[in-house]
Amino acid sequence: MYKSNNNIVYDCKYHVIWCPKYRKPVLKGDVEKMLKEILPFKAETLGAEIIEMETDLDHVHLLVSCNPQYGIHKVVKGLKGFSSRVLRENFPHLKSTMPTLWTNSYFVGTVGSVSLEAVKQYIENQQVRTKKK
């Protein structure tokens, strides 16, 4: 589904993965539950949408749609910072056992509704269409 703002029409989706510091298995029980409640709220304030979300004990998977002018980096940074602050305030054991909740790194991959080959072919055929006219 396409979204738009004053300048662009877009359909940008990203697969994002990040882990707790030292890959500690802390995403369980009430910590996991609260994380899943607060991330969609924060995403909305960042102008993004979490389409899918799942956790394992030591990592978070998100499918995120966001405005490319704002950028996925700002969204991930906002989600990680906010969730770290909220979770560490509510679960003191996360403060006492880890210097920070999340690692600095994360994975992001684009997810498209059109295949790479289809886009390549579309671009390659642009001049062909113009020359035929």
Query: Which residues are the active-site residues?
Result: 122
Cβ pair 94, 32 in contact under 8 A: no
Q: How many residues in the chain?
A: 133
- For the chain, helix (H) and strand (E) counts, in that order, are 5, 6
Alpha carbons 116 and 80: distance in angstroms, whole number:
30
Alpha carbons 34 and 80: distance in angstroms, whole number:
13
